[in-house]
């Protein structure tokens, strides 16, 4: 099938998951097969596959929402598994507990209780006692992508069990990175952890805000760039293996990194794309980025339809689509800028890809993000590539910390400085939107000027 046919299949899957209705999904698949050129060219095989995928996705989506109703409420006393690391806020700390196979969010309030809860780590088992309650409809919909079915009001918590082998292994790696971040003073240590493993829990509120205002918040969310750098760091070992052992080792490295970064939606998308790419390489199949992205979206939504309601998932998908499709086109039209034409086109393409979710959710699309990304992304990439092996080394041998972590310290300081200047220079609406209009006009004018010169 062509790339366009695979992208159409991903769109049909998304619509089916969104509606959660098997009949609507069937109609969408048939309509796409009859009206969209790429689907018609793919023939009956595509139509049969689309109907099967659409109906499966619609039924699975409906069941997933139905499963969000808690089976048991009331008092609980026993062992609960921590799904993710606790997330601190201004006056409380949020965490998600798995109790009898169901997930409940818990808010710890009070200084003493918050200090205790923040020491917990994802995958650990906690002996707790409390009350399981329902969530209101608005809150239930907001946390649905995390499969949270209710709220847990904690009475007390005592013993902590380190959990299974996988949880213990991932927590050891994250602890090593945390120990290494001590050698990067102040908030930059938290920024370093965000760049390397996506751990942004201890970033100050003003740092979070300036990264959002400058359009750099994607740097602290692990994504395809992190996966690429991890594979690049392992490259000297992987290339020595024969094709199939190399594929198995590559998938194992990807899975290891996904576990360490706590199965974030963006890293799930990136991990599945990387796994598909390695499988296509070893089997000699076509592996264009947009094809891999469409297959990853289709597969992930079939497995977990509730991902569709994750803002992080769609920001990741949109940015990747923009980089893969729009970025090269813009770079070709911006050749007058010489060596920065490609990074400028890729940056603008990513912004085009996230414009809809950014505006709908955050109400803004920072104008300064174009320049800020050009200045910050290369250095942030260095921190990602260097920071993980350096952090693991320093975590094991802290005596090397001041020397080994110095490059990462300089890199994180640069990234934060760019974010700080970008936040200060970002114009207020409507000037930011006028600026974006000017960029669109400039790109269109450069295209017309290029046609004029060719004639």
Domain boundaries, the chain: 3-66, 74-163, 177-428
pLDDT in tens, 218-256: 888 777 788 888 888 888 888 888 888 999 999 999 999
The domain made up of 74-163 has a fold known as OB fold (Dihydrolipoamide Acetyltransferase, E2P) (2.40.50)
pLDDT value at position 43? Answer: 82
**Residue 305 clears pLDDT 90, i.e. is over it:** yes
Bridge partner residues of 75 (DSSP): 131
Residue 356 · residue 318 · CB < 8 Å: yes
Mean per-residue pLDDT over the chain, rounded = 89
Banded model confidence at residue 37, pLDDT cuts 50, 70, 90: confident
pLDDT value at position 125? Answer: 95
How large a percentage of the chain has pLDDT more than 90? 54
The mean per-residue pLDDT over the stretch 159-170 comes to 91
| φ/ψ of residue 157, rounded to 5 | -140, 140
Three-state secondary-structure class, residue 401: helix
pLDDT value at position 430? Answer: 79
pLDDT in tens, 81-136: 999 999 988 789 999 999 999 999 999 988 888 888 989 999 999 999 999 999 99
Q: What would you measure as the largest C-alpha separation in the chain, in angstroms?
A: 78
pLDDT in tens, 123-153: 999 999 999 999 998 899 999 999 999 999 9
Pairing of strands 87-88, 148-161: unpaired
pLDDT value at position 289? Answer: 92
Give the dihedral sign, CA 94/98/104/108.
negative
**Residue 453 clears pLDDT 80, i.e. is over it:** no
Give the dihedral sign, CA 352/356/359/362.
negative
**Residue 337 clears pLDDT 90, i.e. is over it:** no
Banded model confidence at residue 65, pLDDT cuts 50, 70, 90: very high
* pTM, to two decimals: 0.90
């Amino acid at each position: 099938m062509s790339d366009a046919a695979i992208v159409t299949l991903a769109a049909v899957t998304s619509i089916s998951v969104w509606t959660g209705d098997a009949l609507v999904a069937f109609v969408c698949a048939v309509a796409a097969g009859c009206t969209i050129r790429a689907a018609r060219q793919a023939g009956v095989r595509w139509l049969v596959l689309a109907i099967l995928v659409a109906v499966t996705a619609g039924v699975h989506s409906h069941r997933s929402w139905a499963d969000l109703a808690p089976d048991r409420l009331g008092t609980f006393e026993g062992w609960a598994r921590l799904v993710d690391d606790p997330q601190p806020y201004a006056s409380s700390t949020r965490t998600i507990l798995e109790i009898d196979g169901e997930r409940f969010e818990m808010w710890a309030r009070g200084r003493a209780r918050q200090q205790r809860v923040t020491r917990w780590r994802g995958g650990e088992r906690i002996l707790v006692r409390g009350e399981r309650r329902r969530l209101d409809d608005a809150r239930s919909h907001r946390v649905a992508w995390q499969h949270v079915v209710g709220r847990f009001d904690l009475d007390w918590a005592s013993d902590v069990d380190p959990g299974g082998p996988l949880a213990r292994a991932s927590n050891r790696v994250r602890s090593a990175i945390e120990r290494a971040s001590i050698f990067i003073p102040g908030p930059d240590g938290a920024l370093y952890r965000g760049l390397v493993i996506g751990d942004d829990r201890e970033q100050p509120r003003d740092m979070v805000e300036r990264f959002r205002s400058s359009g750099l918040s994607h740097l602290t969310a692990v994504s395809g760039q992190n996966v690429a750098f991890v594979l690049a760091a392992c490259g000297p070992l992987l290339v020595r293996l024969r094709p199939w052992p190399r594929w198995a080792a590559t998938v194992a490295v990807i899975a290891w990194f996904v576990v360490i970064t706590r199965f974030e939606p963006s890293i799930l998308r990136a991990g599945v794309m990387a796994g598909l790419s390695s499988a296509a390489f070893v089997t000699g199949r076509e592996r264009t980025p947009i094809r891999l992205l469409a297959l990853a979206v289709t597969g992930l939504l079939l497995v977990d339809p509730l991902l569709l309601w994750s803002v992080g998932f769609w920001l990741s998908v949109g940015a990747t689509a923009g980089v893969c499709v729009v970025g090269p086109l813009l770079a070709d039209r911006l050749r007058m800028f010489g060596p920065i034409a490609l990074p400028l086109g890729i940056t603008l393409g990513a912004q085009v890809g996230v414009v809809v979710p950014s505006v709908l959710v955050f109400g803004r699309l920072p104008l300064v993000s174009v320049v800020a990304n050009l200045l910050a992304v290369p250095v942030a990439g260095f921190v990602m590539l260097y920071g993980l092996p350096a952090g693991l080394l320093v975590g094991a041998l802290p005596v090397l910390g001041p020397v080994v972590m110095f490059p990462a310290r300089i890199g994180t300081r640069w990234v934060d400085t760019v974010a700080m200047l970008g936040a200060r220079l970002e114009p207020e609406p409507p000037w930011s939107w006028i600026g974006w209009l000017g960029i669109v006009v400039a790109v269109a004018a450069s295209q017309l000027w290029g046609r004029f010169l060719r004639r």
